[in-house]
């Protein structure tokens, strides 16, 4: 697991120092290369030799190669990596969902190239990849046993991302600044297929005020979903740092931009519908606060049967046109319909909403709908006004099971199954200490 960054408060050598010091500032070598102008700092502890890879002057460096700093005869005290230019300026914001812009401060934080020191503080390796098409300056400081410092600089440029092979976000849920329910997954949709799923998973760091175990699953090659082992604890902040710039999604296809997402988990609200009792009960923070009479799907066919399982509130509309043709039933057929409904709350992708149904005279008595839980106008209005995206809606008692990929049916998988379907196969703890594995590509 990637660790903390190198401290940045160490003193740098100034331009007015003696000639020996000036010679040391040019000492750079490439990975596996030979020394270039390397001079040891003579001190009571011996020599210090600092090497940086990629080497000074290198061009078209693959952005997913790690930056590595090594010190022989001393310890590393500071490494700074600065990037300018790059293909990130060409990136577009996600078209669907809301902005992932965490503000200037948040963007600067996710763009920062942090690194991890080994136990002996003789090797530093970057945690994340570099922005394609950027100019990179690496400044490293090492110290010998007497406290004498050596500063080394390497300047190089990274390979540009090829048009048509620039991985970007197409959409994300939730959005920055949004308050969500405790069952909220993190859903990321990409514009290009991802083959190197493990590296992409490891490039996205989720951090929460109350750390939990979580993991990513993939639904196709373009959609990645993160959920915790159990529901999020309520009333906390969650950040998602997507270090996608330079990550090789598939051969020759690189991410061009990093993204930051910040959202808040609100109160815990779980609603439960019992098919046989024709009721919906709402609990908030463990206390029952509402019970509503409802009428669910009449179950004469599968499509008219409400799905059972753990659902997540996806979106809501104060007024919505419901058209049976969207679920394969022509409007002009005997079972067809097209009508306006009020206070609709979506909880699947198979056309299921809670909504007001003033025409249904058997609420709390019989299941007569085409699959949607019908409610009174007052009940539907209350549920609409008091629901957050990410709230849990548990439906029990029907013989149609919710599929894991129907809407956000992700809680239908047990934790063991969810972990087995992760590309890394490992849990990621949301404590801000890094992700489970490597984000970099192979050797050049």
Structure confidence at residue 256 (pLDDT): 96
Which of these three, 124, 140, 157, is where a domain ends?
A: 157
Does residue 31 lie in a domain region? yes
In sequence order, the 6+-apart residues with CB closer than 8 A to the CB of 107 are 101, 258, 260
Structure confidence at residue 322 (pLDDT): 81
Band (pLDDT 50/70/90 cuts) for residue 10 is very low
Statement to judge: residues 24 and 152 lie in one domain: yes
Q: Which one, of 51, 49, 83, lies nearest residue 153 by Cα?
A: 51
Strands 353-356 and 374-375: parallel
Does residue 5 lie in a domain region? no
Tokens 């009020």 label which residue? 342
Q: Which one, of 225, 202, 209, 170, lies nearest residue 390 by Cα?
A: 225
Rg (CA), the chain: 27
Q: Which two tokens stand for residue 441?
A: 């590509």
User: pLDDT tens across 191-248, in order?
Assistant: 999 999 999 999 999 999 999 999 999 999 999 999 999 999 999 999 999 999 999 9
Does residue 9 lie in a domain region? no
> Model pTM?
0.85
Does residue 432 lie in a domain region? no
CATH of the domain at 201: 2.60.40.3710
Structure confidence at residue 103 (pLDDT): 63
Does residue 427 lie in a domain region? no
Statement to judge: residues 259 and 286 lie in one domain: no
Band (pLDDT 50/70/90 cuts) for residue 89 is low
Statement to judge: residues 300 and 228 lie in one domain: no
What is the rounded distance in angstroms from the CA atom of residue 129 to the CA atom of residue 435? 14
Q: How many helices (H) and strands (E) does the chain have?
A: 5, 29
CATH of the domain at 40: 2.60.40.3780
Average model confidence (pLDDT) for the chain?
A: 87
8 Å CB contact between 253 and 167: yes
Tell which wins on pLDDT, 261 or 40.
261
Which of these three, 204, 228, 263, is where a domain ends?
A: 263
Is the per-residue pLDDT at 11 higher than 50? no
Is the per-residue pLDDT at 29 higher than 50? no
CATH of the domain at 344: 2.40.440.10
Is the per-residue pLDDT at 95 higher than 80? no
User: What is the percent of the chain where pLDDT is above 90?
Assistant: 77
Is the per-residue pLDDT at 35 higher than 90? no
Range of the structural domain that residue 178 is part of:
166-263
Statement to judge: residues 233 and 280 lie in one domain: no
Tokens 């700092």 label which residue? 41
Tokens 């979580």 label which residue? 214
3-state secondary structure of 12: coil
Structure confidence at residue 97 (pLDDT): 59
Structure confidence at residue 337 (pLDDT): 75
Structure confidence at residue 105 (pLDDT): 72
Statement to judge: residues 233 and 304 lie in one domain: no
Residue positions annotated with a catalytic role: 355, 372
Q: Which two tokens stand for residue 79?
A: 């490494």
* Helix extents (H) in 335-375: none
Band (pLDDT 50/70/90 cuts) for residue 4 is very low
Statement to judge: residues 34 and 142 lie in one domain: yes
What is the rounded distance in angstroms from the CA atom of residue 57 to the CA atom of residue 51? 14
What is the rounded distance in angstroms from the CA atom of residue 321 to the CA atom of residue 57? 62
3-state secondary structure of 16: coil
- Give, in order, the Cα–Cα distances in Å from 319 to each of 70, 314, 327, 330: 63, 16, 19, 22
User: pLDDT tens across 320-339, in order?
Assistant: 988 777 777 777 777 777 78
DSSP state of 433: S
- Residue 261, beta-bridge partner list: 240
Statement to judge: residues 133 and 229 lie in one domain: no
Does residue 431 lie in a domain region? no
Structure confidence at residue 25 (pLDDT): 31
User: pLDDT tens across 255-278, in order?
Assistant: 999 999 999 999 999 999 999 999
Tell which wins on pLDDT, 92 or 353.
353
Statement to judge: residues 291 and 347 lie in one domain: yes
In sequence order, the 6+-apart residues with CB closer than 8 A to the CB of 16 are none
DSSP state of 32: T
User: pLDDT tens across 107-165, in order?
Assistant: 888 999 999 999 999 999 999 999 999 999 999 999 999 999 999 999 999 999 999 99
Statement to judge: residues 248 and 291 lie in one domain: no
Statement to judge: residues 308 and 179 lie in one domain: no
Structure confidence at residue 85 (pLDDT): 87
Does residue 13 lie in a domain region? no
Which of these three, 229, 263, 297, is where a domain ends?
A: 263
Count of domains in the chain?
Answer: 3
Does residue 306 lie in a domain region? yes
Band (pLDDT 50/70/90 cuts) for residue 106 is confident
Tokens 């849920």 label which residue? 173
Statement to judge: residues 173 and 291 lie in one domain: no
8 Å CB contact between 378 and 287: no
Statement to judge: residues 257 and 286 lie in one domain: no
Q: Which two tokens stand for residue 432?
A: 């801000």
């Amino acid at each position: 697991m990637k660790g903390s960054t190198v401290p940045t408060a160490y003193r740098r050598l100034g331009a007015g120092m003696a000639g020996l010091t000036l010679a040391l500032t040019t000492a750079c070598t490439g990975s596996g290369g030979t020394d270039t102008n390397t001079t040891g700092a003579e001190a009571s502890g011996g020599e210090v030799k600092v090497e940086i890879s990629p080497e000074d002057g290198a061009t078209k460096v693959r952005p997913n190669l790690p930056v590595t700093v090594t010190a022989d005869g001393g310890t590393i005290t500071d490494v700074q990596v600065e990037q300018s230019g790059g293909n990130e300026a060409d990136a577009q914001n996600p078209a669907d969902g809301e902005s992932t812009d965490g503000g200037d401060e948040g963007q600067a934080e996710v763009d920062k190239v942090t690194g991890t020191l080994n136990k002996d503080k003789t090797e530093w390796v970057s945690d994340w990849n570099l922005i394609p098409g950027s100019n990179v300056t690496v400044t490293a400081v090492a110290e010998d046993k007497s406290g004498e410092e050596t500063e080394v600089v390497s300047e190089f440029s990274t390979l540009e991302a090829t048009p048509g092979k620039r991985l970007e976000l197409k959409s994300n849920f939730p959005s920055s600044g949004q308050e969500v329910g405790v069952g909220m997954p993190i859903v990321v949709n990409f514009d290009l297929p991802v083959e190197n799923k493990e590296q992409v998973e490891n490039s996205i760091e989720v951090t929460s005020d109350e750390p939990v175990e979580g993991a990513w699953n993939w639904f196709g090659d373009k959609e990645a979903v993160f959920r915790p082992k159990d529901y999020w604890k309520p009333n906390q902040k969650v950040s998602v740092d997507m270090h996608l710039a330079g990550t090789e999604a598939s051969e020759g296809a690189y991410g061009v931009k990093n993204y930051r997402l910040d959202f808040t988990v609100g109160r815990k609200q779980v609603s439960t519908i019992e098919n046989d009792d024709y009721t919906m009960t709402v609990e908030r923070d463990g206390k029952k606060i509402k019970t509503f009479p409802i009428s669910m799907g009449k179950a004469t066919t599968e499509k008219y049967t409400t799905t059972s399982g753990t659902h997540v509130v996806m979106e809501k509309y104060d007024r919505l046109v419901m058209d049976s043709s969207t679920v394969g039933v022509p409007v002009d057929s005997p079972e067809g319909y097209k009508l306006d409904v009020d206070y609709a709350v979506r909880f699947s992708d198979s056309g299921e909403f809670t909504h007001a149904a003033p025409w249904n005279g058997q609420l709390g008595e019989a299941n007569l709908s085409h699959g949607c839980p019908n409610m009174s106008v007052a009940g539907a209005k209350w549920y609409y006004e008091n629901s957050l995206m990410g709230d849990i809606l548990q439906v029990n008692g029907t013989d149609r099971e919710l599929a894991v990929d129907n809407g956000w049916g992700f809680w239908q998988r047990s934790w063991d199954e969810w972990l087995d379907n992760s590309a890394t196969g490992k849990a990621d703890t949301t404590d801000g200490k890094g992700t489970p594995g490597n984000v970099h590509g192979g050797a050049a």
